[in-house]
Chain A
Amino acid sequence: MVSRGDMVSSAREVAAATPDPELPLLTIGDLGILRDVEEADGGVIVTITPTYSGCPAMREITADLTGRLNAAGYPRVELRTRLAPPWSSDWITADGRAKLARAGIAPPGPRHGGPVLLTLGPRPATRCPACGADDTVELAHFGATACKALHRCRACAEPFEAMKAI
């Protein structure tokens, strides 16, 4: 049993350090899906926002979060989902973007606000995370996980994944 006085990390730090199961290089703090951590009466209330409506990683994240907080000396953990405002890739932190780029995944560009426009032509080119060239092409609108699309660099010929801007 760990007494509260021994604890080095706050509940927020522990929760924020939970990795995303599909992008383990990123924490849920980096992704911006951790909305709130509240400590009350020896318990912790953690509020998270799902990235996509059907994202299968949410279940893994909640199980992992609870386990980590339990191990850090917080036996009572309550998880809450918050749907509004909806998650946006704009919430990924600068640190998270740097980690993505280092792992060869192009960080998402800024999401345009205002009315939802129809895009019929090519989207603005995404910078190649391998060589930095802007001469890239989108190979597929979707990728191996709900949050990514597939691109290729014409300069260095490397295929790469890019986080979708939503």
Chain B
Amino acid sequence: MSAREKNQGLDVSDNPYDELADEHGADARWAFGTGFTDPLAGIDTTVPDGVDATALAAYCLALGDDALIYSHRLQQWITRLPELEEETAIANVALDLLGQARMLLARAGTVLGRSEDELAFFRDEVEFRNVRLVERADADFAELVGRLLIFATWRLALFERLREVPDPVLAAIAAKGVNELAYHRDYAAQWVVRLGDGTELSHARMQAALDTTWPLVDELFEAHPMDLVTVAHGEFDVVLDTVLATAGLSRPVIGALAKVGGRAGRDGVHTEALGYVLAELQSVARAHPEATW
């Protein structure tokens, strides 16, 4: 007897949860939203003539790593946020970034001949190319919204430029991401203003959060050989200065976090925080290397 027959008398014809209980043959899924397929299914992933495929893959991987690692750090906040509304907000932001990560890793994978899962779960720390900004855990809610403002402002500016790259797949992923990132930036900016322009305590903690995060900002704007597009620091500053002025906060005057022998996140040189993220992110896939989900 199918689940649908058991529920006779109820109109369950439009209920997706009911569909899960039905036979789907090889398509069987164990929960809503599972049964992952290639996020680029049915898209022409041929790299156009004149585009350096290796360079394209390297850059997609780096941008995908930024989103994957940051999404994981945001997911770690779930059940720990101050209000239910912020739970849904951060879960949605993390989900958008995970979606961007999946498409970008899949794009890199079409060139590298590796699946998105292999790239996410079976690379070691030194093979990740994310910026160091996304690695650390936030100490409080002010650090969460401060870093989200910095990340979303930078990535939005970057994605606006990426819409014009000659690879149509990367351009399309970027165009899709722009709308999402604009929404993330507004959310973060409104919280930074609320905390900065709030009580003496919230102001002090918001300022302290910015001071803590600021040493990781310069790395975002330093030219790297793998960059396909660049964003000027000044463009980011215009947005940040508007938010900070509205919030009554001051721009931190703190030096950048030192590199190691001139190398940083894009070269595979990370802070120790990345190891903890990867241990959690990759443990299930590595314990069951043949598993599918």
Contacts and interface: CB of A to CB of B under 8 A. Distances in A.
A143 B103 contact: no
Interface residues of B, number: 58
Interface string A23-61: 010000000000000000000000100101111110110
Contacts of A127: none
Given A86-B175, A146-B96, A141 B35 contact: no
Given A64-B19, A150-B85, 10 more contacts: A24-B15, A47-B42, A50-B176, A53-B96, A54-B95, A84-B168, A86-B175, A118-B186, A141-B190, A143-B88
Closest A-B pairs by Cβ, 3 of them: A54-B99, A53-B99, A80-B42
A118 B42 contact: no
Contacts of B103: 53, 83
Most chain B beta carbons < 10 A, residue from A53, A60, A84, A86: A53
Name B's interface SS. Answer: helix
B242 A118 contact: yes
Name A's interface SS. Answer: loop
Interface residues of A, number: 42
Contacts of B168: 84
A139 B32 contact: no
Interface string A80-115: 111111111000000000000000000000000000
Given A63-B19, A142-B89, A166-B180, A83 B33 contact: no
Interface of B: 14-16, 19, 24, 27, 29, 32-37, 39-43, 85-86, 88-89, 91-93, 95-100, 102-103, 156, 160, 168-169, 171-173, 175-180, 182-183, 185-187, 189-190, 193, 239, 242-243, 246
A83 B32 contact: no
Interface string A129-165: 0000000000111111010001000000000000010
B183 A120 contact: no
A21 B29 CA distance: 15
Contact of A54 (B34, B41, B100): B100
B169 to A, nearest CB: 7
Interface of A: 19, 21-22, 24, 47, 50, 52-57, 59-60, 62-64, 78-88, 116, 118-120, 139-144, 146, 150, 164, 166
B79 to A, nearest CB: 16
Contacts of B33: 56-57, 59-60
A100 to B, nearest CB: 15
A118 B240 CA distance: 10
Most chain A beta carbons < 10 A, residue from B39, B42, B93, B172: B42
Contacts of B175: 83-86
Most chain A beta carbons < 10 A, residue from B102, B187, B190: B190
Contacts of A22: 16
A142 B180 contact: no
A111 to B, nearest CB: 8
Nearest to B190: A120
B243 to A, nearest CB: 7
A63 to B, nearest CB: 6
Contact of A53 (B42, B156, B180): B180
